[in-house]
């Protein structure tokens, strides 16, 4: 069998997602999926389906997320891919939470966690934490939301997962604002950001700037959002909103639980019928520097 190359659509799609080119990622992942739906190769489509789910969520394609999640769940069941099945559950739960269908969210999260070993599969465990936090915040349970998002990082800032944990820092900051835990959250975010590369890329820079704005002040080690290094080479033209969060030149959509608008968080994605422009949940351009494995954590 021929070896895989970076030029294959699945690889290009994954790279595009990391580079915050979500539309490009969707196009190539769809192409890859089309090739893997044929007889004899469908069992290899699980990772592509999972990646496409999160690219859809990042770009606000919620209906397509739900449709693809059903296909992902069916494929995972047919080929006994528990991690892929968990991803389908969590993607569905995320969309339902953002749409306000709270009663259906927790059973999906519970189902996802039952399919994985949370001490071994930190990526899925981190997704579950983030989804649980978003669901709680959207439901007005700010203390519960903060408690779950807080556990994406150790007290010293070490992330549960070296990439996915950082995607939640804007939601963590919003939850801290609602629970009067600004100082605790600022300290945690500072410690977490101290562990990433000096130039982590526009995605994490935008999320960090958003957290900075929501926590009401510059965070140690973070450049001024208005003059952040490396922004000029990012995929989008950016501007800084009045709360210190980085926008894309389009208007931002208010969070259902934050006093101030902030684009990069998933919870600020476009709600159907809101009349607001569709907003991306801005991925970081490159994952943070890897650190040694952390001790296992219990879920509760």
Q: What CATH code would you report for 9-268?
A: 1.25.40.10
Can you spell out the DSSP letters for the chain?
Answer: -PPP-TTSHHHHHHHHHHTT-HHHHHHHHHHHHHHTTSTTTGGG-HHHHHHHHHHHHHTT-HHHHHHHHHHHHHHHHHHT-HHHHHHHHHHHHHHHHHHT-GGGHHHHHHHHHHTS-TTT-HHHHHHHHHHHHHHHHHTT-HHHHHHHHHTTB-TT--BSSTTGGGGGHHHHHHHHHHTT-HHHHHHHHHHHHTTS-SS--HHHHHHHHHHHHHTTSPPTT---GGG-TTGGGSSS--EE-TTS-EE-SSPP---SS-SS--SSSGGGSPPTTS-PPP------SSPPPP-PPPPP----
* pLDDT in 10s for each residue of the chain, 300 residues: 444 544 488 888 888 877 778 899 999 999 998 888 878 788 889 999 999 999 999 889 999 999 999 999 999 999 999 999 999 999 999 999 999 898 999 999 999 999 999 999 999 999 999 999 999 999 999 999 999 999 999 999 999 998 899 999 999 999 999 999 999 999 999 999 999 877 667 778 888 899 988 987 555 544 443 333 332 333 332 333 333 343 332 223 333 333 333 333 443 333 333 333 333 333 333 334 334 444 444 454
pTM higher than 0.75 for the full model?
A: no
């Amino acid at each position: 069998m021929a070896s895989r190359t970076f030029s294959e659509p699945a690889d290009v799609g994954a790279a595009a997602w990391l580079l915050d080119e979500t539309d490009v990622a969707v196009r190539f992942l769809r192409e890859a999926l089309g090739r893997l739906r044929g007889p004899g190769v469908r069992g290899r489509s699980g990772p592509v389906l999972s990646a496409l789910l999160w690219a859809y969520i990042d770009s606000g394609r919620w209906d397509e997320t739900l449709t693809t999640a059903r296909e992902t769940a069916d494929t995972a069941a047919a080929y006994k891919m528990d991690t892929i099945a968990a991803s389908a559950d969590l993607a569905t739960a995320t969309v339902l939470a953002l749409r306000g269908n709270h009663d259906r969210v927790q059973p999906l999260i519970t189902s996802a966690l039952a399919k994985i070993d949370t001490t071994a599969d930190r990526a899925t465990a981190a997704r579950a934490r983030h989804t649980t936090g978003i669901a709680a915040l959207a439901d007005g349970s700010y203390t519960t939301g903060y408690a779950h998002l807080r556990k994406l990082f150790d007290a010293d800032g070490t992330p549960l997962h070296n990439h996915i944990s950082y995607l939640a820092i804007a939601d963590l900051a919003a939850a801290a604002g609602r629970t009067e835990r600004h100082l605790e959250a600022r300290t945690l975010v500072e410690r977490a950001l101290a562990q990433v590369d000096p130039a982590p890329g526009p995605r994490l820079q935008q999320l960090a700037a958003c957290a900075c704005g929501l926590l009401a002040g510059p965070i140690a080690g973070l450049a001024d959002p208005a003059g952040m290094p490396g922004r000029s080479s990012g995929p989008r033209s950016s501007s800084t909103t009045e709360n210190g969060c980085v926008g894309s030149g389009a208007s931002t959509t208010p969070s259902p639980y934050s006093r101030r608008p902030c684009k990069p968080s998933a919870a600020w994605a476009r709600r159907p019928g809101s009349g607001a422009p569709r907003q991306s949940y801005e991925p970081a351009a490159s994952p943070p520097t890897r650190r040694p494995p952390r001790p296992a954590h219990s879920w509760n």
